[in-house]
Each structure stands twice: as structure tokens, then as C-alpha cells.
Amino acid sequence: MKKILVTGTNGQLGSELRVLSKRYTQFEWVFTDRGELDLCDLVHLTMELSRMQPNYIINCAAHTAVDRAESEFELADVLNHQAVAVLAKWSAKNDCKLLHISTDYVFDGTAATPLAESAPTTPINVYGQTKLAGELACAQECPSSIIIRTSWVYSSFGANFVKTMSRLMQERDSLNVVNDQIGSPTYAADLAQAVLTIIIHPTWQAGIYHFSNEGEISWYEFALAIQEIGGFDCKVSGIPTSAYPTPAKRPQYSLLDKSKIKATFGVMVPDYKESLELCMRLLQ
């Protein structure tokens, strides 16, 4: 029986993979978080991997606190870059298939059309820089790896935009949400299904792939959809990024082109609103 190791189990994607794993009993699943496998301990990481001997690694672990990363470069770099290099090096030496999760934040946000995997990567914040370094290390140390870039992830698990908006819309009379950053949300359950579709596909095709739900919206429009589905009585107003300064810059436009992952693996990409309704039903 093939063994799948999942890192970052307590995150949104890791949690959704745990739910989904119950339908994929042909695999032995090993779910780890920092307590079971500390990716910051680079010395012991290789030893632990050799002890576990996985056939697949799905790397969901990351330093994802975008604003905090600006003042925590070393920690972000260890998790998003150096640990990825160790996973990739071990995978290459041990004939293990590595699937690594990356981000739309590797782009600078100046594009005006959906971003293909070959688009230039010029990150504008520490999170994006360290994630790009992780991608490059992954591809260099383990050329057979698969990298999936995703965006605006949410789930019924963990902290995310959907849960925050749902809470605030019930607590406040009005909210301001940025309306000039464009992209598409990703329901982590859909991403988890895409990952499993790739793993059970007859051919493993190495490379970079993009996945998010279908749709081209701003955070403001995303908030309006949450309000509509939740039936919340709250005034939601759109504001420019300049009116909501944050420690880390965000890409203005990071809509991902999903045609490659669809064509290569037959991955289904649901519309963002359909998936949002499914998630919010779980939250009620």
C-alpha cells in the first residue's frame, strides 16, 4: 500500500485532505503537523522522512501570515524555502513523488489577463519571495515534483476571509472591503480534490500548475457574495487598497489561468459561488 505524507495537517488544505482521505482508502495516510514533523528542524527533517518512508509527500505547510512575514523573514524562509529544499532533496533520492503547494503571491500583480504558469515571477512581499524561493528549490532539487499555485484560500477549517466576513457582518452595521485587488477565491476542499485527482491520475506530469475556483472578482465582490449567501444585514462598501495600508503589499491582479491543470489531469474547477455556498452551509 502506497503511503501519503501530508505536512501542515492543521491548516485549511491539510484539514480538507484529512476529510477527503476517508474516500481514498487505497492509500496509507500519515498526517503531520509541527508536533509530529517540525519542518523548522532541518537537521532532523531528513531523518524523520527516512523513518516514515512515504511514497508521496503533499506539502501544505507554510508560513502564510503575509503581514507578519515582513518582520519574520528568517522563519518564513525556513518554512517556505529551506524546508521545501530538504523535502525535495529527500524525495529525489528516495523515488518519492512530491506535490508542493505555492501561491499567486509569486506574481507582482501588474498583469491584466489571467496568469499562465510561465508568466514572470516578481514577488512584492516577503511571503511571495520566500514561496518563490521554495518553488525554485523544489524544481531544482526534485525536477519530478509538481507545484500547484493557488489563491485566496478559504475553508470551514481555520481562519480565513469567509469566516471573518461572516462574523463581522453579524457584529457590525457596516464594513469596508478592498475593491481594487482582483483574483479568484479557492475553496480548500476543491483544491484537496484536485490534488487527489493528480495523485490517482495514470501519469505523473511534473511541473507547475495553477488552481483556483472559476470567477474574476475583487475582495469587495467576494464579500458581497458572502453577504448574499449568508443573508447578513450589513452595509458593505468598496475602498481602494490605498485606504487600507498593510505591512505587506498585495498583488493588484493575480487571477490564475487554470487551463493547464484541466487539460493535463482532467481536474474539475467549480465556480467560486457554488463552492462558497457549499462552505457556508457547513458554517451555519
What is the DSSP code (8-state) at residue 77?
Answer: H
Q: What pairs with residue 146 in β-bridges?
A: 99, 207
- pLDDT at position 284 is 81
From 127, 154, 209, 253, the catalytic residue: 127
Task: Write the pLDDT tens digit of every residue in 131-158.
Answer: 999 999 999 999 999 999 999 999 999 9
**Centroid of chain to Cα 206:** 18
- pLDDT at position 243 is 94
- pLDDT at position 212 is 98
How far from 65 is each of 69, 73, 177, 247, CA to CA, in Å? 6, 11, 19, 11
- Give the span between the Cα atoms of 229 and 227, in whole angstroms: 6
- pLDDT at position 121 is 97
- Give the span between the Cα atoms of 267 and 270, in whole angstroms: 10
- pLDDT at position 41 is 94
Domains and CATH numbers, the chain: 3-159+186-214+254-270 (3.40.50.720)
What is the DSSP code (8-state) at residue 241?
Answer: G
Place of cell 476542499: 189
Residues lower than pLDDT 70 in the chain: none
Concerning whether 127 is annotated as a catalytic residue, the answer is yes
Cβ atoms of 58 and 17 closer than 8 Å:
yes
